[in-house]
Chains A and B, each alone.
Chain A
Amino acid sequence: MAERDDIVNSMASLAMFADLSRPQLEAASHTFEEEWFTDGQRILRQGFSGSNFYVILDGEAAVRINGETRAVLTRGDFFGEVSVLLGEPPTADVVALRPLRCIVLSGPDTESFLVSYPRVMYRMLQAQARRLRNANLWRG
């Protein structure tokens, strides 16, 4: 029954939230909604406005551009942030590969969340830096 505690525990074990104290984590957990997706369901839709920010708690999702799979996301990964930060539609679909459990923050609420939790923002920035480095390594 204690799924909210379960969400707090799941969040606590993710790198993104690793710097938050327990009370901060609890408060942060209430800012997100829990959402489930069945396999094959689209979560982010390429070219559609109004997407949100998602963090994966369980499951797997594919990042697809024009139907071609470019990456697979798993527990602890997040997506939708580029679209939310830039206010532009996502350039890829994100599709659940099996039952996918996420926490979601609405696009309009994401800025105030990140500003309220700068340590989460810093961790996100690190993850983004890693993605950028890997992309550059690829090209090189």
Chain B
Amino acid sequence: MERPFPPGHYPVVVVGSGPGGLQLSYVLRRLGVEHAVLSEDSGPGGMFLRYPLFQRLNTWSKPHAPAERGTRPYDWYDWNSLVGDVAEHRSTVSELMDGVSYFPARIEMCRGLSTFAARANIQVRYGCRWEGTRREDSGFTLRTSDGEYQCRLAVFAVGMAQPWRPPIPGLEDAPHYVETKPAREYAGKRVFIIGKRNSGFEIADALLPWARRIFLASPRPPVISILHSGGGVKAKYLVPLEDHVMGGGVAILDASIERVRREGALWRVFTSGPMLGPMQFEVDEVIVATGFTSPLGDLPTLGVATFNHGRLPRLTHYWESATMPGIYFAGTITQAAPGLRKHGSAGNSVAVGGFRHNARVLAHYLAHEHFGIDTPAVTLRREDLVPYLLSEVTRAPELWNQQAYLARVVRVDRSQGVFDDGIQPLAAFVDTAGPDAVAVSVEVDAKGEIHPGVYVRRDGQTSEHVLAGDPLLNFERDRHRAELENVLKGLVGGG
């Protein structure tokens, strides 16, 4: 079969065939934005072709859920499927799950993604590795293993699955998460895991039936998902924490790792910290679970500024490089734009559930900004505005997956009418001047309770109103209607 997208000129080149690249290409094509998709892999899936190591995701896809499968509200209950515009393209992960767990197996995830790509006929030039980038007057040239691609815009959806180690002496010799052996090979051993985020806990959980002792150490106390509104270590991996609390042989320590030294068949780990003072641990195995970095290639030398040890690019609200216009990012790298960070929460762009929506918003933004392709705004009747907004905060998957990060925006023109302007980054809405409009989001307050957030832009000033919560998360009750009507009073003219 002939491979698509031979080297040449394209308005947009997308690099990557993980969920970010696939979702972006899907929407770009439906909008009529010509583009090429290149991937060094041999098929769709991105990081899920290899990870998670212990073969099961930590984000839900519920085959049976409060909303009907194949509908838009159902996407909130299925974080792992990409978002299609027709029923056949929706819910492709949950459709294929075997019922053992509502966290899909890695292989189920891969099957779901490849089913989406096949049904939506997403074209990718596989086996084509991006090797370098040049800036041109009219855009960029991407050098690849197949030849050169010229483009106006480049979107990098290259994931964040390249092992990263902090600069600690001796750590470069210790195996990284990605080099973890099958769990049974740790039988009877003392294992020291560096890192207390999901990947560290994932390994600890998998080694519970095998390792003699497990130490989990890093300077920062673990951030637990159920106590931090979904951010941090997932409940699925909390058994090691329970074991630690009960004294079963797992020790979870807040300590800095000073250095690591190989001593014959053993390892010695030197730690320090206010909790324990200087300590040494003699162990049989060390595993470095300090996370990943994005493979940005030569982009930093081209002028794409980075932060967080060079692991992420600095981005605008619409995921464009803050220092190199024309270079965009999709997929998990979009976590580099944290949005409003209300009460510390930075949205959920790290996971498919969140960034799939970013990719859709990005596609619409690129089409509008760079190609003059607009999706006609749907006109709303004035009397439908309040019920529509309350329906959105109650069930829109974009708002639920990307809390205080993505918003439904409705423009209000006193003479022309009320227009649905779609889903936009909330930070872009509140920090950009524009016509009178209202944006709604779903957000968590300081106590961890979920509320609708309403942002009203009137005569160039934007105000914030947090509506009441609800024990059953139904924001379509009379009190919400009355509250929202009050907030919008005077914004909508006429009756």
Contacts and interface: CB of A to CB of B under 8 A. Distances in A.
Given A50-B342, A50-B404, A27 B256 contact: yes
Given A27-B274, A30-B220, A42-B431, A50 B340 contact: yes
Interface residues of A, number: 35
A76 interface: no
- Majority-rule SS of A interface residues: mixed
Contacts of A51: 342
A106 B445 CA distance: 12
B463 interface: yes
A68 interface: no
B78 interface: no
Contact of B167 (A5, A30, A108): A5
B322 A38 contact: yes
Contacts of B307: 3, 34-36, 101
A118 interface: no
B272 A23 contact: yes
A82 B493 CA distance: 38
B219 A50 contact: no
Contact of A1 (B167, B274, B338, B342): B167
Given A47-B464, A48-B340, A3 B310 contact: yes
Interface string A1-21: 111110000000000000000
A108 B464 contact: no
Contact of A50 (B322, B430, B431, B445): B445
Contacts of A109: 344
B308 A3 contact: yes
A24 B274 contact: yes
A123 interface: no
Contacts of B443: 50
Interface string B418-436: 0000000000001100000
Contact of B273 (A3, A27, A48, A99): A27
How extensive is the interface on chain B, given as a class? 20 to 34
B394 interface: no
Interface string B298-332: 00000001011110001010000010000000000
Contacts, number: 92
Contact of A35 (B166, B338, B404): B338
A137 B324 CA distance: 46
B341 interface: yes
Interface string A77-114: 00000000001010000000001010011111100000
A89 B464 contact: yes
Contacts of B64: none
B219 A106 contact: no
Contact of B219 (A30, A47, A87, A108): A30
A27 to B, nearest CB: 5
A49 interface: yes
A41 interface: yes
B316 to A, nearest CB: 7
Contact of A23 (B273, B322, B344): B273
Interface in B336-359: 338, 340-345
B446 interface: yes
A35 B307 CA distance: 8
B466 interface: yes
A108 B343 contact: yes
A48 B455 CA distance: 9
Given A5-B167, A38-B322, A50-B340, A108 B446 contact: yes
B202 interface: no
A64 interface: no
A99 B321 CA distance: 13
A49 B345 CA distance: 12
B343 A50 contact: yes
A50 B314 CA distance: 23
B320 to A, nearest CB: 11
B167 A52 contact: no
Nearest to B444: A50
Contacts of A36: 305, 307, 314, 322
30 contacts: A1-B167, A3-B308, A3-B310, A4-B309, A5-B167, A23-B273, A24-B274, A26-B256, A26-B272, A30-B219, A30-B220, A34-B308, A35-B341, A36-B314, A36-B322, A45-B340, A45-B431, A48-B342, A48-B430, A48-B464, A50-B340, A50-B342, A50-B446, A52-B344, A106-B344, A107-B343, A107-B446, A108-B343, A108-B344, A109-B344
Given A4-B166, A50-B342, A106-B343, 10 more contacts: A1-B310, A2-B167, A3-B309, A26-B256, A27-B220, A30-B218, A41-B431, A47-B464, A49-B342, A106-B341
Interface of B: 166-167, 218-220, 254, 256, 272-274, 305, 307-310, 314, 316, 322, 338, 340-345, 404, 430-431, 443, 445-446, 463-464, 466
Shortest beta-carbon contacts, A-B, top 10: A106-B344, A50-B342, A30-B220, A30-B219, A50-B343, A3-B309, A2-B167, A48-B464, A26-B256, A27-B219
